[in-house]
Structure 1
Amino acid sequence: MSSTIKFANVILERNERSVGFPTLYCTADQPFVFDKEEGAWRLFDRGHFDFTTYFNSLSVMKLARYTDATRFFLHLEVKGAACTYRQTVADALSAHPEVLEETEHVFSASDDWQTLDVELTLLDGTVVAGFELTCDGPVFIQNSYYSVEIPHELRDVELALATTTFKKEKFIEHNIGLVRTEILESDEDIARHFSMHVIDNGRTLDVDRLAGGRITISPNDNVGGAGGFTRGMIEAMEQTPRATHVLLMDDDVAVSPESIKRTYNLLRMLNEEFSEAFISGAMLNYEIGDEQWEDTGFMTRQGTFAPAKPPLRYSKFEDVIYNEAFSIPKEIVKLDQRYAAWWFCCIPISVIEKNGLPLPVFVRCDDAEYGVRCKPRIITMNGLCIWHMSFHVRYNAAVERYQTTRNTMIAQATTGFAPKSDFMYEMRNNVRLELKKFGYANAELVLDAFEDFMRGPEFIGTPGVAEETFMRANRNKEKLVPFDELQRQAHELGLTQFDLVKIDRQLIDSDKPRSRVERLSDYAFDNHQRLMVNEGQGYAVIPVLGWAYPAGVIRGKKYLIVIDWYNRCGAIRAKDPVRYAAIEKRLKDDLKRYKREIAGLRKRYAAHRDEFTSVAFWKHYLGM
């Protein structure tokens, strides 16, 4: 018995990203606007409108892989001026959509809605299919969608959305409103099989005003993203009716409800091979709406998090195709350390039952550890995404130096996370990097993390410790001050040449080459802070990002002025060989202790694996 399901709506949206980057939805030589009177979108005037885009092309190649799809269809509703429909296709080498002239259908001018239902024509190697409209004048479009036929019954799906928030009311209240109006109040099948769990770690949301129906809000202790998402998983497993899948989504994101609808529809069609796959949504740049930062990631051998794909821009058609046709490189496949980040990640409840719950690590590495532990097949697809603030906006040393260092080590010791990654190398490298840039406070954060890891699972698993240690890291990290205070401090130190008016990003991000002798000197003496110690002269301006290493610029300087240009703040670092020596000694002592204790420490962590990932532990930890 075959089944046909409406999979993807043809959408045009009204938000900052659709206005700023309309080619995510439609490539046109005329504008398109929403007409409130008609309740439909108006393709504004005589012109050409191509819907073979990131959101509005159909991912036939991936649907054929993830499902048992046999046929694909388009339903189109238009009225207004005369217009001509033609189907488009594209293969892996397409720079532009190919128009299939034989599919042409002419709509006569009409004030009444006209419909077209067609089966899509596919060519060998088709990656995506779409359509274009050539209009003689204004045309309205509504209620248009792609559907898919599969040769068996659809799967029963109960989808629960779990989102964790901490004092980000603007984002989360907007997303609650979208879910209520665009999903729960829609006439689509998902409305009857969807629920939303908001875990309020800040206890600031108005439950009476925002909750109701299939939307629940759970005031929670501040247990970080790991604790909040875990509570969402538990609530999804215990809700009535019981969820079959839980969709984890960050709070501080913008999302198209259509991405959630397509996730639900895709779950209903999955074939056996992908029946327990994770569905991973891409992270697009909140401020540059067509720019993709990550679409699944992996752990490198050096112990860092890395995106599996290069940066892409979805206003470029070739990037829309590249994203769909992309195959994970062999070197990443061989590592077997891929994960799907939890800004948008749909996980089957059956997988949670088999592999347990996440680790109690507060924030950072919880999603990567869980993905690597479960080793699922991972589904990605154009149109499944969220928009998130970019990394340079969100850089926080308490996260990157403390949480990341500690949590990767905890994860590896507890569940065998990323066995091919050398987190000790990354720890030592980050201490050395911060010391070379006079970032002593942040180097100490790395050692705080290392030492807290060595305190063992009994310390980590204690309720309240996760929040306490993160708050401590935030107190101890390098303090940035507003630009006016930074300018005042510079002049107080006698750096009279420093003038923020003359600072630009070219200067902040610049570096200069070093000779081989200079490189060897920097390696041996850490910018002359050991052995051949000297005070240094002058200053250099460098970026705040911890992974930046403008080695040529910082050589021989007495001061380094760290700039966070986006947030208009910074700090002045002074070379301090005494503090450098103290941190070096602390590192050596920690490494000696690590060498003595690591075998027993790993056994203790591994012995806590079943406890840390159990429902009973987490209910106690969360005070449920």
Structure 2
Amino acid sequence: MNAATMEHPTTMQEPQASTLRQKEAGILRYRKVQEIVLGNSPAERELCFKGFTPDNDEQGVTVSDGRLRNQRPGKVSFDSLLNIFFENYWKSQVSYRALRLSLNYAGTPVLSVWRETHDGLGSSHKTLIFSTKLPEQSDDFRVEISTEDDLKISRPGLISFSLEDDRPFELVHGAWEIECAEPRKIGLAITTCTLDYGKMMPSFFAGLEANLADPAVRSNISSVIIVNNGPDTFDAKLQEKFPHVSEKLKVVQIKNVGASGGFTRAVFAAEEDPAITHIAFQDDDAILATGSLAKACALLELSGPRTVIGGQMLDLSRPHILLASGQFFDSSTNELANPVLNYDLLNPAWKQPFLEGHVGQWNGWWLTIFPKDIFRDIGYPVPLFVKWDDVEYGVRASHHNYQTMTFPGVSVWHEAPDMKPITWQIYFNVRNGLIIKTLRSDPYAPNSLNAKQLITEFLENLLTYRYFQARLIIKAMKDYSDGPEVLRKPIRESFATVRNLTKEAPSFSLEKKGQKSRWSKFITLKPSRKSAIHALAWNLWTSVPKHPAERLMGSRFIQWTSFYKADVVYVDDPTMDSAMVYTRDPEMARALTMQFIKQLWTSMRNRNSIRSKWKAMDDSLTSRQSWIDIFSFNEKL
């Protein structure tokens, strides 16, 4: 059995980052850090294991009663996101001496353990560490694994295993364990904020309940704090379905203060409990993947005190698609980057960025776990209410030496951002983007008022007849230019302003569906400066004829190059029962264009004074007292 032993641990390379507490500890013991997950649904099981039979019949592998059964000759590989041991990530955070695999099984399958590494030149190599026929049935079989190759050169990689036999076998339980110092005690508060408790909480609780089925996880969860920004729709019967969640549940009822306000109010509640050491922000529409909290808790117990754990975002409608894993804000160029985007986890190539040890700078609040002390050290989120609040806080944390580790396999399913129609939210997206690029950019970075970017976003909405969104972009630029006082206004006042400006929103209709003979020819332009100028001139100065040209298109084609030469556009959105109608209005387009040019000129001319106003209020905006004032004033309205 090359590179493995069932008796003696194998010393491994010291990690790049280890805590002084672990180095000084004299007693090392094995500790479970990762369960072998079998999945609670067919979609989740695709990310847990893959079954292979001689006739490629996957029906031979089933899961029931918490057991995996391979009923026909074949192999089951656990080389998948939720079960791989990402050694390179663990070693960057945790000091440990050895790794071992623990199995509870029935039968006599052949156990094979594999390592996949990156050579630094763009290629990966998968090698067999060892393979052995297991003794018949074991309730507690453990095998220690060396991660050194034949040359004794340690290269952290991705470790996986498979079970194979020509007879049926079962896997009852499995876990990855590491030999390390005694972990410190943690208390994790899971928090979220919601506008619709009755609608959003059932799926939220379901994912959380599956993770709390692990007693070790339950012992580390101090509280589940729900901040209800909406109507009081607390349902005691709902809690009865989720007993593990219910016993730790605390609901805080407040008036709507947006996402950043809701999460900050949850932090205030968590700070009242001295047992809580870490606070997780999780979107109310995010569903935890099984085993995520077990990995996260192990990391928090064994890693340094300034570690922030981020969760990956999986696509709720396409569960095998990885949408985001570790993101960046380039403070020198004011650009966002998401290097790991739309990775198909059923394609073997998905592992490439994780073989290279991809680590982001910030993580979205679909799932991010902070040490509680961070709020004392660097303050609270900027009161942006919605959009960009997670970027701001993550970037600020990185500037104060809090490292965000988006850990593979700590994951949630979440609706893809491009599936959510951007309507009124464009105001907050533009305004808050300008604010964050001002507050968190390098001193010598290009000004946050990127004229080219603003012009592009304005024209994209103007040339697709979304005049209400073009109007909101202008309003966002004005409010940013007016300075920080805009963030001290009650959020309901901001929402009221946005609603008033969206009265031009398109209506819905089903009348034209099916009458394809009336649609105009589907014309698309090649995007270029010349074609954009041509389309703009046509939109501004060509009158709408008595019999306007109508066009039907899918929601994925909402782009200015597809609207050219159409006066009325019906957009068929598969997520809705009706079509959205966009109508060209040259007079309104001309008026909005003049307003935009005037506001852009004013903002660019005063950009230095605008920047100074925002910078001067940075500490005040993120203080505890600032949020106390916001909560107090909001509740009085």
TM superposition score normalised by structure 2 = 0.82
Paired amino acid for 2:406: T
Q: Give the aligned residue type for 1:172.
A: M
* Structure-2 separation of matches of 1:466 and 1:361: 13
Q: Does residue 1:120 correspond to 2:153, yes or no?
A: no
The reply to whether residue 610 of structure 1 matches residue 619 of structure 2 is: yes
Shift in Å, 1:99 = 3.1
The answer to whether residue 401 in structure 2 is matched with residue 364 in structure 1 is no
C-alpha separation between the residues in 1 aligned to 2:90 and 2:338? 23
Q: Which amino acid aligns with 1:356?
A: G
| Stretch of structure 1 that moved more, 352-361 or 22-31 | 22-31
Q: 1:66 to 1:564 in 2, by over 3 A?
A: same
- Alpha-carbon shift at residue 7 of structure 1 (Å): 0.3
Correspondence for 1:398: 424
Q: Name the amino acid aligned to 1:603.
A: S
Gaps of 5+ in 1: none
Match of 2:257 among 213, 223, 248: 223
Segment of structure 1 superposing worse, 356-365 or 213-222: 213-222
TM-score (normalizing by structure 1)? 0.84
Q: State the partner residue of 2:582.
A: 573
Structure 1 residues 217-366: aligned runs within 5 Å: 217-241=251-275, 243-270=276-303, 272=304, 275-299=305-329, 305-327=336-358, 338-366=361-389
Matched, 1:528 2:538: yes
What amino acid is aligned across from residue 286 of structure 2 in structure 1?
A: V
Q: Separation in 2 of the partners of 1:615 and 1:266?
A: 29
User: 2:41 matched to 1:10?
Assistant: no
Measure, in 1, the Cα distance between the counterparts of 2:603 and 2:349: 50
**2-structure distance, mates of 1:540, 1:498:** 5
- Does residue 203 (structure 1) correspond to residue 231 (structure 2)? The answer is yes
Q: Secondary structure at the match of 2:134?
A: strand
Shift of 1:327: 4.0
Match of 1:28 in 2: 52
Residue 135 of structure 2 aligns with which residue?
Answer: 107
Verify the 8 A CA contact 1:408 1:423 in the aligned structure 2: no
Q: 1:216 Cα shift?
A: 0.9
Partner of residue 194, structure 2: 165
Letter aligned with residue 189 of structure 2: A
- CA deviations over 1:108-150 (Å, ceiling 9, x no partner): 2x5xx44311111313434111211113333222231001123
Work out whether residues 430 and 476 of structure 2, in 8 Å CA contact, stay in contact via their aligned partners in 1: yes
Per-residue CA distance 1:471-510 (angstroms, 9 max, x = gap): 627844633525x24539xx7xxx95239xxx9xxx7xx9
CA change 1:347–1:485 in 2 (3 A) is: farther
For the residues of structure 1 that align with 2:501 and 2:191, how far apart are their CA atoms?
27
Distance 1:303 1:107, change over 3 A: same
Task: Return 5+ residue gaps in structure 2 as ranges.
Answer: 1-25, 240-244
Asked if the contact 1:82/1:136 (under 8 Å) is kept, the reply is: no
Q: CA deviation at 1:229?
A: 1.1
- Offset of 1:162 from its aligned partner? 1.1
Q: Distance in 1 between matches of 2:413 and 2:377?
A: 31
Structure 2 residue corresponding to 1:564, chosen from 573, 593, 602 = 573
Q: How does 1:469-480 map to 2 (within 5 A)?
A: 469=496, 472=499, 475-476=502-503, 478-480=505-507
Aligned 8 A contact 1:224 1:467 in 2 = no
Tell me, in whole angstroms, the C-alpha distance in 1 between the residues paired with 2:614 and 2:286: 34
SS at match of 2:291: helix
Distance in 1 (CA, whole Å) between partners of 2:536 and 2:334 is 23
Contact 1:538 1:557 in 2 (8 A): yes
CA RMSD, Structure 1 to Structure 2 (Å): 3.2
For 1:569 and 1:97, how far apart are their aligned partners in 2?
50
Inter-partner Cα distance in structure 2 for 1:131 and 1:355? 42
Counterpart residue number, 1:88: 114
- Other structure's SS at 1:387 match: strand
Shift of 1:203: 3.3
Matched, 1:214 2:214: no
Cα 1:140–1:205 shift into 2, 3 Å:
farther
Aligned equivalents of 1:48 and 1:314: distance in 2? Answer: 20
Distance 1:527 1:12 in 2: 59
Partner secondary structure for residue 70 of structure 1: strand
Alignment of 1:146 with 2:176, yes or no, is yes
Tell me the equivalent position of 2:594.
Answer: 585
1:198 is matched by which residue type in structure 2? I
1:246 partner amino acid: I
Which amino acid letter does the alignment assign opposite residue 252 of structure 1? Answer: D
Output the CA distance in 2 between the equivalents of 1:325 and 1:74: 24
SS at match of 2:539: coil
CA distance in 2, matches of 1:470, 1:305: 28
Structure 2 match to 1:137? 167
The CA distance in 2 between the partners of 1:397 and 1:545, in whole Å, is 15
Tell me how far apart the structure 1 counterparts of residues 605 and 391 of structure 2 sit (CA, whole Å). 29
Q: 1:596 to 1:106 in 2, by over 3 A?
A: closer
Q: Deviations over 1:544-601 (max 9, x none)?
A: 469x5352x4333333333423335433333322111110121122234324554444
Cα distance change, pair 140–166 in 1 and its aligned pair in 2 (3 A): same
Task: Compute the displacement of 1:308 (Å).
Answer: 2.4
Letter in 1 for 2:272: E
Does structure 2 retain, via aligned residues, the 8 Å contact 1:89–1:130?
yes
- Measured after TM superposition, the shift of residue 225 of structure 1 is 1.1
Choose from 208, 215, 240 the match for 1:187.
Answer: 215
- Deviation of 1:170 (Å): 4.3
* Contact preservation (8 Å) 2:434, 2:448: no
1:439-588 mapped onto 2 (5 Å cutoff): 439-465=466-492, 468-469=495-496, 472=499, 475-476=502-503, 478-482=505-509, 484-485=510-511, 487=513, 497-498=518-519, 511-513=524-526, 519-520=529-530, 522-523=532-533, 526-530=536-540, 533=542, 535=544, 538-542=549-553, 544=555, 549-551=559-561, 553-588=562-597
Distance 2:531 2:274 in 1: 66
